[in-house]
Amino acid sequence: MTEKIFGRVVRPGAVVPGVVEVDGPTILTVAEHADAGDDVIIPGFVDLHCHGGGGHTFTRGDAGDAAKAAAFHLRHGTTTMLASLVSSPYELMRDATAAYLPLVSRGVIAGIHFEGPYLSAARCGAQNPEFLRDPSLEELGALVALAAGAIRMVTIAPELPGALDAIRYLAAHDVVAALGHTDATYEQTLAGVAAGATVGTHVFNGMRPPHHREPGPVVALLDSPEIVCEFVADGIHLHDGMLRFAARATPHRAALVTDAMDAAGMPDGTFELGGQEVTVADGVARLARDGSIAGSTLTMDATFRRAVDAGIDLPTAAAMAATTPARALGLADEVGALEAGLRADLVVLSADLRVKRVMRAGEWI
């Protein structure tokens, strides 16, 4: 059964009055239409980095809770997402992988992202230092074998002993190696890129800041054409001016992510992340013990609006929120754009960019 959705259609480089025609789960055509109305139609959001939302979390390995977190973000337009875990004991990583396999097979989540535990203690941020350790090919091999393709990304600090071998292993097994939570030098970061890393985890945050005599990981990642750079656009992780600059410095390589925890969509209060207490005040999540930023309370529609408010045009913001992250996951031929033949994932926004309706695989949710 076909259906037509009218509005201002956001496509690469342009916003045009048009109509998106879907046939079952697939986009059939996208065409111009003079009387399309004021709604804005964008591709369904693709979130590479999310720990939870709506009071539910991905970090504990509970499949029921994870499904509810995914459902919360789907209502905010995220039609494709990774379930991100923070640094954890191997046993939790193993059990979460097994628990989330059915969610991946059903398409509830697109896969698993392990943000750690192979991270720098000096740049661990809200990661629990108790669980940090050097990369282990034994652990990774067991997890990748168990996952059967469900592990899509692992964040690693490239300066750690064994990190480059781990990055090579991940790349060889079709797992995205991301560089983050790192105190690496510029040269060490480029070594990680050369080993096969293709994503920078929330660039600027959780890494050595740039200096004109030691550019560090930030400049290395921004300047590497192989790297898709994640940015958390909430005005807390990044100043709007820095977001705008970084997006212009990385055309077709900038990806908006939420880095959301279970507090997203919830009132201020006390929460938990990786075994550590988190206090949320005025929507900002910080570790109780030292005030470190602890993820965010974002949804993808909110970070999309923030990017536009920061001066990023609609087509570029849509690419950052959908097209580029889809490409980073190797899913560009399935999702991430309003193009004939792709899955019918789209978000209908009001003129002020508030979510009105969400379609996933041709069905309104």
List helix spans (H) across 40-121.
63-75, 90-105
What is the gyration radius of the CA atoms in the chain, in angstroms?
A: 19
**Could you give the CA distance from residue 146 to residue 95 in angstroms, rounded to a whole number?**
10
For strand 26-32 and strand 228-231, is the pairing parallel, antiparallel, or unpaired? unpaired
E-strand spans in the chain?
Answer: 2-11, 14-23, 26-32, 40-43, 45-47, 52-53, 56-57, 78-85, 111-115, 151-156, 176-179, 199-200, 228-231, 254-256, 269-273, 276-281, 284-287, 346-349, 355-360, 363-364
CA-CA-CA-CA torsion sign (278, 63, 73, 119): positive
Active site residues: 259
Q: Which two tokens stand for residue 109?
A: 């989540």
List helix spans (H) across the chain.
63-75, 90-105, 137-147, 163-172, 186-195, 216-222, 240-249, 300-309, 314-318, 324-328
